[in-house]
Amino acid sequence: MRSKFFLNTNFQIFSISLILFLIKWSLSFYFYGLETLSLKVIFNPSGDYSYYPFVVQLSKFKFNEGYSLIFNDLNLIGFPFLVSLFHAFFFKIFGIIGFILLELVCIFIFIKIFFHIFKELKFSNISCIFLGLFFFTIPNLAEILNYFQIPYSLNIKSLYAGFYSLRFPRPLITNLFFFGFILFLLKFYLNNKPEAKKKNLILSFVFIGLLFNSFFFFFIICSLLTFLIIIIHFKKKIIEKENLNVLLKSCAVLFILCIPFLSQIFLIENDYYSRIGTFYLTNETKIFLIHHLINGLKKLEFIVILFTNIIFYFINIRSNSHTKKFLEFFWLLFLSSILAPFIYLFLMNQITFFGNFTFIIALTSMILLKINFIIFIFSNFLSNTKIINSIISLAFFALLSFNSIYFIKTSKVNLLSAGVHFNAKNIEKFRSDFKNVINFLKKNSQKNDLLLTNDVHTQIWWILSERNYFYFPYVFFVALNDNMIEKQLINSFKYLKLDKNDFINYFNENKISNWRVVNTNNYFFLGHLKYQTNFLTKMSKIDYYPEETKKFINKKSIHHTNQVILSNLDLERLRIKFDETILDTKLEPNIIVLFKDERLTKNLDKIKNFPTVLENSNFLILKNNANN
């Protein structure tokens, strides 16, 4: 009885998942000791703090949060909340540790999905578990290769970082929806039992609905793939009553799952569209993007991968004809990823992050290549069960070692968005300095205190601690319109005894990197992607932009999506608005936490009733003592 328990595949998959999970999080405790869990979650090396507020908002069923003391009754945020559903549930039940526990759950589900995908090829259980672990390891291995300056290693790393990792919510959750969809549509395509086919098709539509609420690009490609599979599978029988009933039930399930995000779209704060980088597609832009896609398909790298897939496909179906239909499914997935952007450009007039389409084309081509290669190896070299078990036992150890190396190399995080974005006075001490800040805030702040801070780390902690009000917010996760954001920002500068030149200089940095222009404070606190400026999206004539930025704006690339630049027209409007805005006494903060920046801290001695109560190498805290 005990041996059966240990041979159970779920137990084996869970054991591997638990080992990976414990390796990662034990390193956090090894390097940083017994910090509060909120600190470990904020500095999670594979997390993305930008999305944590949506988890808290969903847990409270509040979809129009502004964290503002003066602005209420806001429209909805446009972020697809359903992708945060599981984290919101775990956060509600377990608190902050829910973020950590879900990583274990997601690792288990990932390996389990690929276990079942490869079981469709009749591989042994141990082989399927190994392949699940192998697919989980590939992105981490690509990260390690990047340290050795191997040709194309950076491109491979970028590609596989989007294949899967523990980054929340994408690809941690979104790609599980994508792989879950692949599993059930594949089962529908391969299975001949009517009841099983019906269940698998409905489950496929469930995952399409989840993708609509999480990552629209996957939704488009999966919808197209489903359409192709249904046409190929049913052919003329599609109009038969039983088949129509299954399709109608599946579509009904999809429609119900789409309602949450459709409601958001109808009730969204209009300014939020521009903040997430949405821009209109002119005919000229569409033609440029079509040429971009075609040129990408003509690249040598793509042609080599394409012909390699074709060669492996014919070798595989010749040596093992049972793999033909399995491989055809992944060829259709690859074809869908190529057709989807062309169809989108024909039907739609708005887009954000068009580069996601080209990423998915590369991703599906590599998935097809890996599956072709795996079938080739197993069919020609690993047909002997004893050989398989011996090799896989060693390979398991190797894969766990690779993952351990990856976790060791990525486990030290002292500052989020370090480098081109946030330049701390002392990066090595930033995490411990921030720990002192939150220890102070725990003891000296109340739930309804008004916080003024330019530090994203502090804002995330404030939200995770379920405190209600702050301003100068990271504008990606608030429902405030642009006018409200600007009014609060101007008030914050006036409370800090700063003038309009300080205001403009803070949001108009134009830091030149090797490939784009960076305006960190604009990106985080003023407009996010509202002022996205590149060859496709520039809002004003090129002459209205600073001279040093023009060559970056004119670069014919689709990858400058995070390049934000204020034009002269924008600057003049903000100057006028600063002069016209009257200081609102309701926005007098209880606590000020400043990430040290001379542009903000130079006049602190002029603020009445706000003595400095904590200072370290990276932070200043001032507390209002007017009511003491």
Over residues 394-434, the pLDDT tens digits come to 889 899 999 999 999 899 998 887 666 778 888 899 999 99
Confidence of residue 94 (pLDDT cuts 50, 70, 90): very high
pLDDT reported for residue 153: 44
| Torsional sign, CA 228, 233, 236, 242 | negative
Comparing 501 with 542, which gets the higher pLDDT? 501
Reading the block at residue 224, the tokens are 């197209």
pLDDT reported for residue 173: 96
Half-sphere exposure of 397 (CA within 13 A, CB side): 5
| Contact criterion met (CB below 8 Å) for 548 and 510 | yes
| Contact criterion met (CB below 8 Å) for 274 and 82 | no
Q: Residue 97: what residue type? A: I
Give the model confidence (pLDDT) of 196-226 as tens digits. Answer: 899 999 999 999 999 999 999 999 999 999 9
Q: Please state, in angstroms and rounded to a whole number, the distance separating the CA atoms of residues 415 and 429.
A: 9
Nearest of 393, 396, 422 to residue 136 by alpha carbon: 396
pTM here is 0.94
Give the model confidence (pLDDT) of 567-596 as tens digits. Answer: 999 999 999 999 999 999 999 999 999 999
Residue 564: strand pairing partners: 532
What does the pLDDT average to over 96-111?
A: 96
Nearest of 408, 561, 292 to residue 31 by alpha carbon: 408
**Beta strand pairing call for 591-595 and 450-453:** parallel
| Contact criterion met (CB below 8 Å) for 122 and 182 | no
Give the model confidence (pLDDT) of 312-357 as tens digits. Answer: 999 999 988 889 999 999 999 999 999 999 999 999 999 888 989 9
Reading the block at residue 283, the tokens are 């005919």
